[in-house]
Amino acid sequence: MKRLFFLLGVLRLLAAAAAVYKQWIPNTNFETASNWEKGRVPCASDVVRFEKNKVVSVFVGSPHALTDMYLPLNGEFVLASGAGFAAFDGSWDPGCDSGATVRFADAEHHAWFDPTLWQAVSPDRELEPSGRIFSVDEERVPCRYDDVIFQPETSFRVNVDSSQRVIHLRSISLMGQELSSPEAWAGYLRGPSAPLQFHGNGTLRVTGTGCPDKSGCACGNAPDGHRICAALLGASGRQCPAPACQSPLQPLGHCCGVCGATINLDFTPDFDLQKYQDRLVQGLLSQPKYASVRMAISKVHKAQTFLGVIPRSSTPLIQIVLIDDGAGAQTGSTAEQLAADIMEDVAQHGETLGISSGKMEAATGSAFSRQAGSHALNRIIAGTVSGLLFSLLLLGGILFLYRKGKLRWLRGRALTGSAAERRGGIRHQQGYCKLGRRLWELANSLPPCSGAILTSSEPANVACFHQKGPGTASLQIAQHLRSRI
């Protein structure tokens, strides 16, 4: 029996890992108590008021008797079978004696990029329990290859303001119909309900296609990461909770630091994200000793910089985030142990799995550590050796050219001040000089030359340029023989 429960738990984890369905939580239904400012559905003796300048779409699921109702200038009622409104006849209603004015709450603030307004559901559209697999904050909002669900027999209004001109989705299900092609979605947008349900500067676009890459696809919500975090922190008091570790990790796509461990994997074309995720769930995460650990795994794009400052193109990698429910000094310790097991598995089987290297970071209640996988460490060593060899070759080349006299400007600049005077050089203050051949020494009668020191061991010519004004110069040639010095 225990074995059966264990297998059922594994299957549940795998199903959660494969979920790509995101369901919208709020609604604007007439019968939802939270949609009314008084926190209750209007009764017969009440006066219902919709603000006239507010745009609404309201689903009505049952008949209602009302004393009076003020309607908006732009909106719709979606009536279920048998639903409607009737005037109150004044008869006694034991549950309704207030006779108050009840206002419909403002739904304009419900934003598409608020992760608290979405929930993951299974392919059969059942709500997924809060389990061992979680998503970083950017991926809690529908990603470009996800299926979006608005529950049947519900109305809604969503602000789709976005930093992206177009928000791509695989499909959208609403009002009991699934729209999974660009043509079907375009037809719905031409109808009367779409402008009442979606508002803002973003445009939803249904593609009907899933992720084409077996190594996974990035979510695509990074451009709106600031919106996601603002909405998330707004719901929790505008501040990340204080972490229990001193140096919390900052996973890509996540708003707040976490205690536990992160692993970044570089991969080859042979890597299969879903198979590797199943491997981790079945072989490691399902072990009883890791019962307190939760895992997120996805493909992300890490920004690359030149010299740590200048931005370059981003690099795709597989990010694994591990957190646990430890407290105090034990915070993150179990997650760190699981991360170490994953790194060991990468060292042993990485090539077979299509993993070229791995890097682990851990932050617990007592320590912070970094560990590079064996593949990555070899690459780091190889890169360091190559860099040293290149530097030595470059330095040797410069020294060779210097000794051959090819870098004459460098030779001239090398002798300055008193050192040049000891070798017979004369420092001049105006213009600049250019060497012809090597000189025995400088003559005191040379034309003025700026900051240039010329020394020689034999007679030669010296070409001196004197700046007379912007863009003009004159050339003087002086012949100096040893007998004149």
Q: Is residue 392 included in any domain, yes or no?
A: no
Asked if 46 and 87 sit in the same domain, the reply is: yes
Asked if 13 and 152 sit in the same domain, the reply is: yes
Q: Decide which of 54, 74, 103 is a domain's last residue.
A: 103
Asked if 210 and 149 sit in the same domain, the reply is: yes
Token digits for 123? 């392919």
Asked if 20 and 159 sit in the same domain, the reply is: yes
Asked if 149 and 57 sit in the same domain, the reply is: no
Q: Which residues contact 306 (CB under 8 A, 6 or more apart)?
A: 312
Asked if 56 and 74 sit in the same domain, the reply is: yes
Q: What is the pLDDT of residues 211-230, one digit of tens each?
A: 999 999 999 999 999 999 99
Residue range 266-286: mean pLDDT, rounded: 97
The structural domain count of the chain equals 4
Q: How far are the Cα atoms of 85, 113, 164, 217, 254 from residue 221, in angstroms, in the given order?
A: 42, 9, 9, 12, 11
Residue range 183-207: mean pLDDT, rounded: 97
Share of the chain above pLDDT 70, in %: 71
Token digits for 177? 């119909």
Q: Decide which of 222, 243, 277 is a domain's last residue.
A: 222
Q: What is the mean pLDDT of the chain?
A: 80
Asked if 6 and 129 sit in the same domain, the reply is: yes
Q: Which residues contact 398 (CB under 8 A, 6 or more apart)?
A: 407
Backbone angles phi, psi at 42, to 5 degrees: -60, 145
Share of the chain above pLDDT 90, in %: 59
Angle at 133 between CA 127 and CA 139, to 5 degrees: 80
Q: How far are the Cα atoms of 272, 402, 463, 468 from residue 426, in angstroms, in the given order?
A: 72, 22, 15, 22
Whole-number pLDDT of residue 4: 43
In this prediction the pTM is: 0.72
Asked if 308 and 435 sit in the same domain, the reply is: no
Contact 342, 280 (CB under 8 A): yes
Q: Is residue 469 included in any domain, yes or no?
A: yes
At residue 344, what is the residue type?
Answer: E
More confident residue, 337 or 471: 337
Q: Is residue 237 included in any domain, yes or no?
A: no
Asked if 127 and 161 sit in the same domain, the reply is: yes
Q: Is residue 378 included in any domain, yes or no?
A: no
More confident residue, 185 or 19: 185
Q: Is residue 17 included in any domain, yes or no?
A: yes
Asked if 196 and 119 sit in the same domain, the reply is: yes
Contact 302, 247 (CB under 8 A): no
More confident residue, 406 or 174: 174
Token digits for 421? 């005077």
Whole-number pLDDT of residue 158: 98
Residue range 4-22: mean pLDDT, rounded: 52
Q: What is the pLDDT of residues 409-428, one digit of tens each?
A: 444 544 444 444 444 443 44
Q: What is the pLDDT of residues 97-142, one digit of tens each?
A: 778 999 999 999 999 999 999 999 987 777 776 679 999 999 999 9
Asked if 13 and 162 sit in the same domain, the reply is: yes
Q: Decide which of 207, 222, 237 is a domain's last residue.
A: 222
Residue-number span of the structural domain to which 285 is assigned: 255-372
More confident residue, 64 or 474: 64
Q: Is residue 321 included in any domain, yes or no?
A: yes
Whole-number pLDDT of residue 385: 52
Q: Which residues contact 201 (CB under 8 A, 6 or more apart)?
A: 160, 161, 162
Whole-number pLDDT of residue 89: 82
Q: Is residue 271 included in any domain, yes or no?
A: yes
Q: What is the CATH number of the domain that holds 279?
A: 3.30.70
Q: Is residue 453 included in any domain, yes or no?
A: yes
Q: How far are the Cα atoms of 80, 140, 149, 159, 208 from residue 178, in angstroms, in the given order?
A: 19, 21, 8, 21, 11
3-class SS letters over the chain? CHHHHHHHHHHHHHHHHHCCEEEECCCCCCCCHHHECCCCCCCCCCEEECCCCCCEEEEECCEEEECEEECCCCEEEEECCCCEEEECCCCCCCCCCCCCEEEECCCCCCECCCHHHEEEECCCCCECCCCCECCCHHHCCCCCCCEEECCCCCCCCEECCCCCCEEEECEEEECCEEECCHHHHHHHHCCCCHHHHEECCCEEEECCCCCCCCCCCCCCCHHHHHHHHHHHHHHCCCCCCCCCCCCCECCCCCCCCECEEEEEEEECCCCCHHHHHHHHHHHHHCCHHHCCCEEEEEEEEEEEEECCCEEEEEEEEEEEEEECCCCHHHCCHHHHHHHHHHHHHHHHHHHHHCEEEEEEEEECCCCEEEEECHHHHHHHHHHHHHHHHHHHHHHHHHHHHHHCCCCHHHHHHHCCHHHHHHCCCCCCCCCEEEECCCCCCCCCCCCCCCCCCCCCCCCEEEEEEEEEECCEEEEEEEEECHHHC
Q: How many residues does the chain have?
A: 485
Cα–Cα distance measured from residue 174 to residue 158, given in angstroms and rounded to the nearest whole number:
13
Of the CA atoms within 13 Å of residue 94, those in its CB half-sphere come to 0
More confident residue, 180 or 328: 180
Backbone angles phi, psi at 229, to 5 degrees: -70, -35
Contact 122, 149 (CB under 8 A): no
Asked if 207 and 337 sit in the same domain, the reply is: no
